[in-house]
Structure 1
Amino acid sequence: MPPVESSRASAGPTTTETRSAKLLPGTTGYRRAILALFAAGMATFLLLYSTQGLLPVISDDLGVSPAQASLTVAMTTAGLAVALIPLSALSEKYGRTPVMAASVFSAALIGLAIPFSPDLTVLVVLRTLQGVALAGLPATAMAYLAEEVSPQAIASAIGLYVAGNSIGGMSSRVIAGFVAQFAGWRVALFVLGVISLVCAIAFRLLTPTARNFTPAAISPRALLRTVTGHLANPLLVRLYVLGLLFMSVFGSVYTVLGYRLSEAPFHLPEGAVGSIFLVYLVGTASSAAAGKLVAGLGRRGALYCGIAAVAAGLVLTLAGSLAAVLAGLVLITAGFFIGHAVASGAVSRAATSGRAQASALYLTAYYVGNSVGGTVGATAFHTSGWPGMVAVGLTAMAVAAGVTLYATRRAAVAERRGAAVS
């Protein structure tokens, strides 16, 4: 059973009690909490993208097209997107730790069953259920850190949690690629399931008992009112659209990448294709650089930089040189993480209330973008080759540039009106 989270008296803890209960860097509780969420984040992204680097061999083994095989990624992220808000709401009543533990354990156990799928239909159904199970972690983890970690340490704590996400996402492709090259895709997925189960056990053993959680009643009406209020906010909607567009390109590129590199003129083996996903680490540096870009160019200026980098990277991947394709992937990855960091960071600032739900809506749009982008990109690749996929990506970036330009003009008009009034 997950550790039981304690609640305070109805009056709530005093300020002194709250400060003394917060986890501080250097303490055993803080280290345990960070390691626990690092393990949970790693398990989540190991499982979420476990089939992405294996799509060519899944296509060959099951006799399905790239678009059909891509459903093993698209439906997983779609399941996560649909379940994000309901499961994050459950954590308000039943506690952050129990929901996160149930999420990561159930997803890992499903992961152990997936390699035995007899056909694509069963594989896609199980992957969809796995996505639903994983939805209990992302938004809930952020709420847990905000409640349990000292305010001055939250930024670094979230950074370590995101590092677990990044390493998990990269490792799932790299490990799966090398294992599949020698033992097949089913064994590769089983290995990822075992690693994820070990991470789930580590999370359960390491997580400190929550001391600042207070259960709250779940009110579907109030939740709906908050969500509709956010969707009526033009600024938030623009940020959601940007998250969706950036992720649609990123998802389509990395979904189709294996097919591109395993075919002529490259003919790379599965292990080599998996190692290409090390480019994912570029996201760590570009996410950090996003803050400096915003400071120097403003939010919209940083978005333009991200859009330009993705578009330039897409064009560069059209070359027949592996070095050019890799350079293009670096630009696409860097541009995506800049756009994602700027848009997601702006959501919490733009929402004046219901910030958890505002962030959950952003994540929903983000993962819908991955699902739609992966499927549309794979379909375009199947019908028109890599140039078709690039055309889809450039169209998405053109729309993102239009959304940003619209926001820039609105801001300029508002500034002129303000100057006129003053």
Structure 2
Amino acid sequence: MPTADTGAPAGIAGALSSAFSDPDDIRHRPGTGGYRRAMLALFAAGAATFALLYATQALLPAISSELNLTPAQASLTVSATTIGLAVAVLPVSALSEKWGRVQVMTVSVFAASLIALAVPFAPDLTTLVVLRAVQGVALAGLPATAMAYLGEEMHPKAVTSAMGLYVAGNSIGGMSSRVATGALSQAFGWRTALAAIGVVALLCAVVFRLLVPPATQFRPGPVNPGALLRTVGGHLGDPLLRRLYGIGLLLMTVFGAVYTVLGYRLLEAPFGLPESVVGMIFLVYLVGTCSSAAAGRLAGRLGRRGALYVGILTAVAGLLLSIADNLVAILLGLVLVTAGFFAGHAVASSSVSRTAKKGRAQASALYLAAYYVGNSLGGTLGASAYHAAGWNGTVVVGLAALTGAGGITLYATRKAISARREAAAA
């Protein structure tokens, strides 16, 4: 029997397999020690990933000021990282099929954290963007591989809730990096703020490696480019997976647009908030932590498509509310956008893992590639729309993306209803 990907002896894996006739019996279930260790480990890894990925987002106005950049130019420090991740996520995740999920995740989070310690020393925009792009490539080994790991190691009934908790870790990382960098930047400058995020991410990497359980369900295989292309082609040929990829892209377009532009809006008139206060606005990410963790329960009650409708409509309401030049309305709108986004993302990402019967890492990688392309599109389009038409322009970009996501979900609902009618008639 092949060894597990953390180097556990084959005899142990064989003993476990022979002890249980149903292989699902040895997967982690909620309440067990293995489940708790896995979720704490991936929570730390997810926090590090999002903290590094969006480390410059709250700092864009300060970077613009010091380097004399437009909002669109400064936003490249975010989009370069997400594009780097999107481009590399498929080939890097394929390596996890040979080297193991845990090994690839470990290398990824440590490499990205070490690069983060070099980012604050970038002398100009070009160097900063290049370092951030390389960091995105390094991060590519974690998100899709983590999703595949959860799909393999969690009991099927626990996959959605486990994915929600992993996404919750993402939201904690995104929130903490924005809040901390806003405060540190005002006190010590944006370069010091970025250095602090790098140190915290390195600590999260250590926690991940110490806690992550062995991958007992993983079986290594060779990396075959031809087989990889066939697997990718199969996933892209699956109508359900294509719809999930489209939903992920469109949801992230909204999120990228809102959070890229928000700092500029709140620093300018009529609000004129201090940089540290603007950073505190990102505490709203806690809402994402709660909504993503609750997404599994919501999907259990309403079905996955029902949960997606709730997430999309919640985000629409938040965008419309944010139009008002009132700080309370903007904050409430941001709460709704964040809650809707994270709920929709948790449902869509877990659906990818459940839908793909083989090549889960590649299926998750394609979802994340679409997801992070959406982030880059949202940041660029949102910043350009803000420059041309103010916040209302950014809202239009977000509403267009949400309309697309809702249309895809409605199409899937009608297909499902039609299939049920045909089955009943037969």
- 1:75 aligned residue: 80
Matched, 1:66 2:86: no
Matched, 1:167 2:166: no
Identify the match of residue 386 of structure 2 among 362, 381, 384: 381
- 1:313 aligned residue: 318
How far the C-alpha of 1:338 sits from its partner, in A, is 2.5
Contact 2:48 2:205 in 1 (8 A): yes
- 2:18 aligned residue: 15
Matched, 1:399 2:421: no
Deviation string 1:201-232 (CA, Å, 9 cap, x unpaired) is 33334445555543211111111111111111
Query: Where does structure 2 lack aligned partners over 5 or more consecutive residues?
Result: none
SS of 2:223's partner is coil
Write the distance in 1 (CA, Å) between the matches of 2:219 and 2:130. 36
Change (3 A) 1:223 1:310: same
- 1:57 aligned residue: 62
How far the C-alpha of 1:104 sits from its partner, in A, is 1.1
- 2:282 aligned residue: 277
Write the distance in 2 (CA, Å) between the matches of 1:205 and 1:289. 27
Write the distance in 1 (CA, Å) between the matches of 2:254 and 2:157. 35
- 2:99 aligned residue: 94
Write the distance in 1 (CA, Å) between the matches of 2:146 and 2:66. 37
Identify the match of residue 141 of structure 1 among 146, 152, 155: 146
Write the distance in 1 (CA, Å) between the matches of 2:34 and 2:302. 39
SS of 2:336's partner is helix
How far the C-alpha of 1:149 sits from its partner, in A, is 6.0
Deviation string 1:306-337 (CA, Å, 9 cap, x unpaired) is 22222221111111110010111111112212
| Structure-1-length-normalised TM-score | 0.90
Letter in 2 for 1:237: R
How far the C-alpha of 1:31 sits from its partner, in A, is 5.6
Q: Which moved more, 1:62-71 or 1:16-25?
A: 16-25
Contact 1:90 1:218 in 2 (8 A): yes
- 1:301 aligned residue: 306
Change (3 A) 1:166 1:229: same
Letter in 1 for 2:112: A
Write the distance in 1 (CA, Å) between the matches of 2:29 and 2:414. 44
SS of 1:14's partner is helix
Write the distance in 2 (CA, Å) between the matches of 1:142 and 1:403. 23
Write the distance in 1 (CA, Å) between the matches of 2:366 and 2:157. 26
Write the distance in 2 (CA, Å) between the matches of 1:142 and 1:324. 35
Matched, 1:340 2:364: no
Write the distance in 1 (CA, Å) between the matches of 2:18 and 2:303. 36
Contact 1:38 1:165 in 2 (8 A): yes
Matched, 1:227 2:224: no
Change (3 A) 1:359 1:15: farther
Query: Where does structure 1 lack aligned partners over 5 or more consecutive residues?
Result: none
Change (3 A) 1:6 1:265: farther
Q: Which moved more, 1:82-91 or 1:34-43?
A: 34-43
How far the C-alpha of 1:13 sits from its partner, in A, is 6.4
Q: Which moved more, 1:301-310 or 1:3-12?
A: 3-12
| Structure-2-length-normalised TM-score | 0.89
How far the C-alpha of 1:167 sits from its partner, in A, is 1.3
Letter in 1 for 2:133: T
How far the C-alpha of 1:385 sits from its partner, in A, is 1.2
- 1:203 aligned residue: 208
Q: Which moved more, 1:152-161 or 1:73-82?
A: 152-161
Letter in 2 for 1:203: F
- 1:120 aligned residue: 125
Deviation string 1:82-123 (CA, Å, 9 cap, x unpaired) is 111211111121122321221111111110110111111111
Contact 1:48 1:76 in 2 (8 A): yes
- 1:236 aligned residue: 241
Aligned residues: 420
Deviation string 1:18-75 (CA, Å, 9 cap, x unpaired) is 7998678788766655443333222111101101111111111111111111111111
Q: Which moved more, 1:390-399 or 1:24-33?
A: 24-33
Superposition RMSD in Å = 2.9
Write the distance in 2 (CA, Å) between the matches of 1:403 and 1:19. 33
Contact 1:77 1:131 in 2 (8 A): yes
